[in-house]
């Protein structure tokens, strides 16, 4: 099995950010289409939405938080933490669904986990290694195991500086033993090649359209910025 044989999942179109070690650096100030002002707006919106997604997860569980997580994850570069958390929620939610829906959720979860892992997110890398191992307690409902890719991510995670720097746990022994027992020398060689070829790949960052400062507000004459009619004074 080679890298090109690994599953590549495509999710629904992008709807609209935080890395493992720290949030992405705040964008520089400026103006103009796609410039600093627009980036500042995206950053503040993504931070607010990520807090909202986490609040929903805490109060009502993963399934309630998934729609908000999808929006944040789709902001692209610099939002790998949201991508990881979305993938984890999708994996968790798939366990309670029928076969068809579990497969859809697991495939989407793997897409976002891979996006975060390819961006260098260590937690996504080790989570993906466990999920793709198919080991007891780590297999994901609706997701087919892939020992070569899974072990490749385990190797990449082991070499990720954030793994040691932030005291993240090693791959769970059950998953590690599963790889050791199930993999042939040829499979291990392919996984090692996968890890050796790893270079970070990030999604394009979402850039909002520039605001037209000359645009006239919609609504009836005398309406306010949101379209409501102003009361006479």
pLDDT of residue 211: 78
Count of structural domains within the chain: 1
pLDDT of residue 22: 35
Sort residue 70 into left (φ over 0), alpha (ψ -120 to 50) or beta: alpha
Within a domain: residue 86?
yes
pLDDT of residue 24: 36
Within a domain: residue 124?
yes
**Residue 183 lies in domain:** 3-8+15-20+30-196
Within a domain: residue 218?
no
pLDDT of residue 213: 74
pLDDT of residue 187: 98
- Residue ranges, the chain, pLDDT below 50: 1-35
| Model pLDDT for residues 206-218, shown as the tens digit of each residue | 988 887 777 666 6
CA atoms within 13 A on the CB side of 217: 12
Within a domain: residue 221?
no
pLDDT of residue 210: 82
Within a domain: residue 172?
yes
Within a domain: residue 225?
no
pLDDT of residue 51: 97
| Model pLDDT for residues 94-129, shown as the tens digit of each residue | 999 999 999 999 999 999 999 999 999 999 999 999
Residue 103 to residues 30, 85, 106, 129, 142: CA-CA distances in angstroms?
44, 18, 5, 18, 4
pLDDT of residue 42: 73
């Amino acid at each position: 099995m080679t890298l090109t044989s690994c599953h590549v999942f495509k999710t629904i179109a992008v709807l609209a950010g935080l890395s493992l070690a720290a949030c992405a650096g705040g964008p520089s100030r400026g103006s103009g289409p796609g410039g600093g002002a627009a980036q500042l707006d995206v950053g503040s919106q993504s931070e607010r939405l990520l807090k909202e997604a986490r609040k929903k997860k805490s109060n009502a569980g993963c399934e309630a938080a998934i729609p908000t997580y999808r929006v944040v994850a789709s902001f692209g570069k610099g939002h790998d933490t949201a991508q990881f958390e979305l993938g984890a929620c999708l994996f968790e939610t798939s366990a309670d669904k029928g076969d068809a829906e579990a497969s859809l959720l697991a495939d989407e979860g793997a897409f976002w986990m891979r996006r975060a892992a390819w961006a260098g997110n260590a937690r996504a890398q080790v989570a993906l290694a466990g999920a793709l191992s198919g080991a007891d307690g780590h297999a994901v409902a609706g997701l087919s195991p892939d020992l070569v890719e899974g072990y490749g991510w385990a190797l990449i995670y082991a070499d990720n500086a954030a793994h040691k720097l932030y005291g993240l746990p090693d791959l769970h022994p059950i998953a590690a033993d599963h790889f050791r027992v199930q993999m042939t020398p040829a499979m291990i060689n392919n996984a090692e090649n996968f890890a050796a070829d790893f270079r970070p790949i990030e999604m394009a960052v979402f850039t909002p359209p520039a605001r037209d400062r000359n645009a006239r507000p919609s609504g009836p004459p005398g309406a306010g910025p949101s379209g409501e009619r102003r009361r006479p004074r």
